[in-house]
Amino acid sequence: MEYPLSIRGGALHFEDCAVHDLAKQFGTPVFAVSETQLRSNFRNYSQIYTRHWPEGEVLIMPSIKANPNIAVRRILSEEGAGCDVFGFGELECALRGNVAPEKISVNGSIKDRELVRKAIDIGAHIVLDSPRELDLCEEEGRSLNKRASISFRLKPDLSDIDTVSDYVPEFSIHFMTQVVKYGIPTRELMEMAHAVRDMQYIDPVGIHVHMGRHSKRPEVWRSLVRNTVKLIAEISKTMDGWTPQIINLGGGMPSRFDLDTDVTIKGYVGPTPEEMAVILTSTLRSSIEEFGMSAQGIALAIEPGRAIHCDTGIHIAKVCNLKNEQGSFNHRWAEIDSSQMFLGVGGANFDSSKFEFLIANKADKAPRETTDIVGMTCNLEVLFYQVMTPDLEVDDIVTLLYTGSYIEPCAQNFNALPRPGMILVKDDIAEWIKRPETVDDVLARDVVPERI
């Protein structure tokens, strides 16, 4: 096993804490995050990209949506991270997480006037997604007498590749990156580039592009970068030789074990983080030169949210009940106190499991029985179908591995279930960083009219 997981004395450990002891101390279900792994992952990305992009500053800006927790963000802020945010909630989380405003990138479509004004006022960077947002920035910048720092979010044409999406394999990546709502349609982009030259309160400093986790294949990423630079060259001509100060290539880098629940096509080897950095930086460098520009002084930003967070987390649950059918239909079920509703996955995982798992208190025991591990709601909830486990007993601890990105943020309250909390583990210390909900929390927003 690889850090932060290890098996000692037959028990699964997370950093230096026995997972079954965490279950006793904090209750189940619960999410846990490794502080040591989080810091290590960020430092690794920062060092790799700094080494391969000497032309300018490197900005590592993991999207806050991957794990929107204030304590987690403060750890990353201590390491020097910026972040990508969507909407007021994530912006507030970033600020409370001590992210420096100039390292915050306000992204996403449908930004309203209030969000634009807040971003300009605090000095955050705004990634434009439409002509309307450009007008809002100019208007609110004038009102505040401050210039809005902006980037254009591009939709590069990837028609030079015919690779299908790992995420939605029914469609090509070219189609998916064009049909997606995010990004400025190229026709409107050129109109914005022309208009921005006459605006007094707009500071057009950068370019942003985000493909997402569509592929690990090097040719896909090379196409993304080269076609992004091709669009930059067109913008540069429209803006009288303008060159971006920042090029943000977004996220979508695969996580270490590439076990993300939203990816359909897995099982093929992709680039390591180092190899991916070489692909991105060398293609960016050569493409900038090809289109007659200079890379010197250009800052490179990336947003490896899933890649930084995925292997930092585990989810801990308890076996609450066992069932066994024998006769014409032989089947076993282990009912745990977690749910697909807490894990952001479907409830009919007959083809393959979304997660790897271990029985924390029997981590060295050989598998002996075939069991369905099922969740606690009234849904089907087949989390693991016909998997091999040690002999299971009530109160055994089931641990789902690599749940650090995009899992806890998707938890919901189906069946009026309170959502799990989250703990932070550092060496042999574990502390709450998000308390578990109560039933009162679940019902707190309900309003009963006086007439009822």
Q: What is the pLDDT of residue 262?
A: 85
Residue-level pLDDT at 436: 98
Distance of CA 421 to the CA centre of its chain: 19
Q: Would you call 358 exposed, middle or buried from its count of C-beta atoms within 10 A (0-12, 13-18, 19+)?
A: buried
Q: Which residues contact 220 (CB under 8 A, 6 or more apart)?
A: 158, 161, 163, 173, 211, 214
Long-range contacts of 83-91 (CB under 8 A, 24+ apart): 84/127, 84/251, 84/303, 84/305, 87/115, 88/114, 88/115, 88/118, 90/64, 90/65, 91/115, 91/118, 91/119, 91/124
User: Do 6 and 13 form a contact (C-beta atoms < 8 A)?
Assistant: yes
Token pair in block for residue 166: 């790992």
Can you say whether the dihedral through the CA atoms of 66, 72, 78, 79 is positive or negative? negative
CB 390 within 8 A of CB 359: yes
- Residue 78, token pair as written in the block: 């201590």
Question: Taken in order 119, 61, 46, 79, is the CA torsion positive or negative?
Answer: positive
Q: Which residues, 6+ apart, have CB-to-CB distance to 415 below 8 Å?
A: 341, 377, 378
37 contacts 312 by C-beta, under 8 angstroms: yes
Q: Across the strands, what pairs with 334?
A: 322, 373
Q: How many CB atoms lie within 10 A of CB 132?
A: 13
Which residues 6+ apart lie within 8 Å of 236 measured at CB?
242, 243, 293
**What pLDDT is attached to residue 266?**
84
314: Cα separation from own chain's centroid: 15
What phi and psi, each to the nearest 5 degrees, are found at residue 330? -100, 125
Q: Give dist(CA 127, CA 106) in Å, integer.
A: 6
Task: Go through the domains of the chain in sequence order and give each one's CATH number.
Answer: 5-33+312-443 (2.40.37.10), 100-303 (3.20.20.10)
Q: What is the pLDDT along the chain (452 residues), one digit of tens a residue?
A: 899 999 999 999 999 999 999 999 999 999 999 999 999 999 999 999 999 999 999 999 999 999 999 999 999 999 999 999 999 999 999 999 999 999 999 999 899 999 999 999 999 999 999 999 999 999 999 999 999 999 999 999 999 999 999 999 999 999 999 999 999 999 999 999 999 999 999 999 999 999 999 999 999 999 999 999 999 999 999 999 999 999 999 999 988 888 888 889 988 999 999 999 999 999 999 999 999 999 999 999 999 999 999 999 999 999 999 999 999 999 999 999 999 999 999 999 998 899 999 999 999 999 999 999 999 999 999 999 999 999 999 999 999 999 999 999 999 999 999 999 999 999 999 999 999 999 999 999 999 999 99
Phi, psi of 162 (to 5 degrees): -120, 20
Tell the residue number behind the tokens 């680039």, with chain if given: 271
Burial class of residue 276 (count of CB atoms within 10 Å of its CB; 0-12, 13-18, 19+): buried
Contact of 247 with 232, CB cutoff 8 Å? yes
